[in-house]
Structure 1
Amino acid sequence: MHARRTRLTTAAALGASALLLAATGAPSLASGQEPAPGDPGRYEQLQMLSFNDFHGNLQAPSGSSGRTVVDHRIDPATGQPVDVTQDSGGVEYLATHLKQARKGHQGRTVTVAAGDIVGASPLLSAAFHDEPTVDAMNKLGLDVTSVGNHEFDEGYKEIQRLANGGCLPDGDGANNQNSCPDGKFRGADYDILAANVKYAGTQRTILPAYAVKKVGDARIGFIGMTLKGTPDIVTAAGVQGLRFTDEVTTANAVARKLVKKGVSSIVVLIHQGGVPTTQTYTDPATGKTSQVNPTYDAACGKGASLDPAASPILDISKRLDPSIDMVVSGHTHQPYVCDVPDPAGNPRMVTSASSFGRLFTDTELTYDRQTRDIVRTSVHATNQVVTRDVRKDPAQTSLIERFTALVRPIAAKVLGTISTDVNRTPNAAGETALGDLIADAQLADPSVVTGGKTPVVAFMNPGGVRADLTYANSPYGEAPGEVTYDEAFTVQPFNNYLVSLDLTGQQIYDLLAQQVTGANAGAPKVLQVSKGFAYRLGASGAVDGSVTLDGQPVDKGATYRVVTNNFLAGGGDGFPAFTQGQDVYFGGLDIDAFAAYLTSVSPYTPPALNRITR
């Protein structure tokens, strides 16, 4: 059933449920109440399957993005513990695992997600505006998801289109993208929720705030939200005209509305998350203990917990109304299954299933037919690895093969060559070889030259560099070292525009200080810079007098032309200094600049990392 028709059915069901509640006067289930023994007809066992941060990974992801930590062992060469990983992910395998998990639960299972289903996607999906991912989610049986920050990468009207269907007039392949290659796109069969995303100056949400799903005899209300800070981490144009409301205030208000409508079973789907602490590993031979990276199931049952300083979901969960029975979270790309006390002090399950389809969470719960509520103490969740030792789902394989053929002429084009790996591994100062290459490409791009002004320095956000360039990688049979458009796009998948603007020397100092202060004080973000620009980074920013351009000190009173991407130019990632820039000019796409530059400098060998020092 199409999502729009589902919402109509939901509204009618809500009215009937409210009438039934008034007629029976059934009480709400108290948090922590156990099922009464000796009354099996009163209770029903239900299942909820969930995942998050899929990011259009239709094909099995490679490298670290396609591995899950499942154990640890002692490396005989060093005597130190190392991770044991398992290859995981890929929609063909995810669909099969979900089908297997649903067995025995027919009619009593629901599949949900917590945002970033699309956006920052590999080329196979991004080349078609993520329409293939929506089709894949339809096929694997997704019922409802929240929006995440990446759902706004192409603007809020685009996520509305993905929800409702229709084609973009994108020139049949302009900018290496092609909406509706078959001439039509029906949109999502699942609900996409945005309870805390409203049109500015109104109370109207851009998409439904909630959906109610019939699961067995239960009616479960799902409230979907993204993190309140979404405007800080997406392009300004993507959220222009919108306001993002507080997660707790929003969810509690919607929960009260659901309860009034007779829906007592409530789950929050929220694109905000947490980060597990390290796990204690004991060497079985010596008994020596070490702190190691947590396994996928370590938090919160095998020695790891959520780090309070890095886990906004903890504060949110602790303040969500007790009427909310469970929280499915995301955004941090981390795995965890944790009980977090609600305001009444009762435990409430909070889950996250890593990212890229590597895990899914299987939650089993008991529904009380008399109170029409979930028995909170019955909720049991486990994260499951999406292994690749199962049969591929044929419908997903067919979809992948179809779009692989359609995208091949773009993807297989060789742009240039590298002589060795060019990676994102930072040195002690935070500089990376791939960050240097991207910044140099932006500086060299002629599309940002305007009015006789040519940029003299480029700044690139480290979080926008999404994959390494690997010498041995040959996805289309190209020679080692040859870099295809597909590989380049995987490095920079956002289709950001380059922007040139004027900053004073003082504003450049302010910018460098914002790497380690303000919004980035807890988790510094070291901007990657182009050749000729250098400085020494201290605890509160660039050391005074250390910032140079072509060997000359940057004058705080002078004006410099800089180039960056539109995400940073809008103040994203906690860099408001960019918004003070003057004479702002939009150029071409970042991926086009990267592709053209790589061609011009091939074969490329990374230079020494000496632009940023500490």
Structure 2
Amino acid sequence: MAATPRKNKTARRILAAGAGLVTVGALVAAMPSAGAVGDRSGGGHGHGHDKGQGRLVDVQLLSFNDLHGNLEPPTGSSGRLTHLNEDGTTRTVEGVGGVEYLATHLRQARQGHPYSITAAAGDMIGASPLVSGLFHDEPTIEALNRLDLDVTSVGNHEFDEGARELARMQNGGCHPTEGCFEKGKRFQGADFPYLAANVTNEKSGKPLLDPYFVWERNGVRIGFIGVTLEGTADIVSAEGIKGLKFGDEVETINKYAKVLERKGVKSIVALLHEGGLPASGAYNYDCDSPGPGNGISGPIVDIAKNVSPQVDALVTGHTHQAYACTIPDPAGKPRTVTSAASFGRLYTDTTLTYDRRTKDIVRTAVASANHVVSRDVKPARDMTRLIDRWKTLAAPIANRPVGHIAADIENPIDAYEKPLGDLIADAQLEGMAPADKGGAQLALMNPGGIRAPLSHKASGAEGVGVVTYGEAYTVQPFTNMMTAVDLTGAQLVTALQQQVSGPNQAAPKILQVSKGFTYTLDMTKTGADRVVVSSVRLNGEPIDPAKTYRVAMNEFLSGGGDGFTVLKEHKNKLVGASDLDMFTAYLTAHSSASAPLPVPAADRITVIK
């Protein structure tokens, strides 16, 4: 299918009446306005002739989240979904995702819908595979423009390279140090607004980017408020967000719902980069059975129950889960809350019935469902050309072999200890163990830093079992610098306890550990008691609370990321090479075509359930 014509950015982003210019002081020189209106009455996406002239108009809302620059079809477990059968059994859906197929599915879904909006809930970029990440995610922004994305909230990964780089993603311009990646071409930036209502300048209190956006066609007006999770500062590099404050999600959404109401916009959708945890991992699980919202837990539940009834639906993300639930609002009225997993494997189709007389959504008529981005449709040719163009630029780096594996080395989302996590921790320990490199005795790896599995499947012409630099980059895209630090045994135990307590109690973040470091998790208990302290050992010896150990970890963890505040208390830090360099060096040193690397046993953490 052909792409719709490129929209004129200036024309589509008109200042909302009465809204002032918003900046973040000296952090970002040129930022967009506080509130934007997209006037689509002139045809917008061109999804068909306007037929909605009656009182009630069905508005199609297509949404997705957590794409993370996955332009090519994701591999291994990242390219699978679980389907729940009617008899309660499940089956695996193989071969899903890929922006070429997402484009086709979205374009087909829009057919026959003159009122159609496409929105996203953050993490469109960041932690991206090499074909996008190598070029600072310019390819993904270009792809999203071609997808005709109308609006998105920011997510925490939009801040991976800092506020200045996010501004460049919005406004365009060549990279400040690497320049333009294609001769004679200047990066144009996003045709859609990024919304960041709860990301403000600490001094001025003004939003970094537009807090809201109003979609309009033939008198139908729907407002979008975009926020990221309040805890973003705890899970991104501190340097890139210096001078920024991340506010409470509920307070921010409710504030701007009132602003939109005063402007006469009564139909409101919140785009929120925070999510929930459904009781089943199946994308089609009914989390409203036996009652509304009973099958979902996590931060989104309390948020949804407290967001103003003025808001008609919440599109969410961050947890990489799939759900289409109804959770009661503060007035007890059911309200749709959705998430489309991650990596472009699903999209959500929600029908919002708009009442022209009240200018509001008829809540009882809202219907929503997640749809698989299968690869049994014709790939969008314009997306194929886009990917091929960037792959050609990346090929000299991406196709270089760096190792060999004997089978898939997975990174299962529902496993506490992951085979790939063990491999990465071992690589980091080996890289930081020499006395002149840090003298590390063990390594800790944050699970969120592992972005994809290693697939045994053939990679281009390199052959089955070959790991290329591009594949290794997709696993470790952040290029975090490694550190070796001093921690006491007591601090190590506290770090293990912080995996399953405090902010990580509801959704544990289990650190991946290097060989020789073992312990037991008792998940029948709660909080810090889940760690069996007497079981914590290094090379068979119990950890001594008073003894000092040299521990390897990336700079994100040594800075206290992911809620591991105790790790900030380290001493004697030594900075080494990047995590990616250590990973590729380990693969090269420990594998060959005749002796491929076996799958780690994942036997370091004993789990009692």
TM-score (normalised: structure 1):
0.84
Q: 1:96 aligns with which of 89, 104, 129?
A: 104
Distance (Å, rounded) in 2 between the aligned partners of 1:52 and 1:133: 13
Residue 104 to residue 452, structure 1, CA distance change in 2 (3 Å): closer
The AA in structure 2 aligned to 1:43 is: L
Deviates more, 1:159-168 or 1:238-247: 238-247
Tell me the equivalent position of 2:150: 143
The answer to whether structure 1 residue 163 and structure 2 residue 133 are counterparts is no
**1:235-293: CA deviations, max 9, x gaps?**
33343322111111000111111111222221111111222224xxxxxxxxxxxxxx5
Tell me the equivalent position of 2:451: 466
Shift of 1:135: 0.2
Shift of 1:486: 1.8
The AA in structure 2 aligned to 1:162 is: M
Tell me the equivalent position of 1:344: 331
Shift of 1:297: 3.1
Tell me the equivalent position of 1:578: 567
The answer to whether structure 1 residue 605 and structure 2 residue 589 are counterparts is no
Tell me the equivalent position of 1:185: 187
Tell me the equivalent position of 2:35: none
Deviates more, 1:604-613 or 1:265-274: 604-613
> C-alpha root-mean-square deviation of aligned residues, in Å?
3.0
Q: Is the 8 A contact 2:279 2:296 kept in 1?
A: no
Q: 1:506 aligns with which of 490, 496, 509?
A: 490
Distance (Å, rounded) in 1 between the aligned partners of 2:104 and 2:296: 37
SS in 2 for 1:593: helix
Structure 1 gaps, min length 5: 15-38, 75-79, 173-177, 279-292
Deviates more, 1:386-395 or 1:297-306: 297-306
The AA in structure 1 aligned to 2:80 is: R
Q: Which has the larger radius of gyration?
A: 1
SS in 1 for 2:361: strand
The answer to whether structure 1 residue 436 and structure 2 residue 419 are counterparts is no
Q: 1:46 aligns with which of 39, 59, 64?
A: 59
Q: 1:56 aligns with which of 58, 69, 93?
A: 69
The answer to whether structure 1 residue 567 and structure 2 residue 556 are counterparts is yes
Shift of 1:183: 4.4
The AA in structure 2 aligned to 1:498 is: M
**1:94-141: CA deviations, max 9, x gaps?**
1122222222233x2221111111112221111111111100000110
Shift of 1:393: 1.4
The AA in structure 1 aligned to 2:13 is: R
Alignment of 1:144-543 (within 5 A): 144-171=151-178, 183-278=185-280, 294=282, 296-300=283-287, 306=293, 310-424=297-411, 430-445=416-431, 453-471=438-456, 473-537=457-521, 540=529, 543=532
Residue 329 to residue 609, structure 1, CA distance change in 2 (3 Å): closer
Tell me the equivalent position of 1:121: 128
Distance (Å, rounded) in 1 between the aligned partners of 2:330 and 2:359: 22
The AA in structure 2 aligned to 1:6 is: R
SS in 2 for 1:562: strand
Q: Is the 8 A contact 1:499 1:565 kept in 2?
A: yes
Alignment of 1:583-602 (within 5 A): 583-602=572-591
Aligned length: 561
Q: Is the 8 A contact 1:340 1:347 kept in 2?
A: yes
Distance (Å, rounded) in 2 between the aligned partners of 1:56 and 1:360: 15
Shift of 1:227: 1.2
SS in 1 for 2:62: strand
Distance (Å, rounded) in 1 between the aligned partners of 2:291 and 2:450: 29
Distance (Å, rounded) in 2 between the aligned partners of 1:235 and 1:596: 25
Distance (Å, rounded) in 2 between the aligned partners of 1:332 and 1:12: 36
**1:541-595: CA deviations, max 9, x gaps?**
6544554444554432233222211221222222111111123344332111101
The AA in structure 2 aligned to 1:522 is: A
The AA in structure 1 aligned to 2:496 is: L
Q: Is the 8 A contact 1:73 1:83 kept in 2?
A: no
Shift of 1:530: 2.2
Distance (Å, rounded) in 1 between the aligned partners of 2:550 and 2:236: 23
Tell me the equivalent position of 2:78: 65
Residue 13 to residue 252, structure 1, CA distance change in 2 (3 Å): closer
Tell me the equivalent position of 1:77: none
Shift of 1:85: 2.1
Deviates more, 1:47-56 or 1:246-255: 47-56
Residue 601 to residue 542, structure 1, CA distance change in 2 (3 Å): same
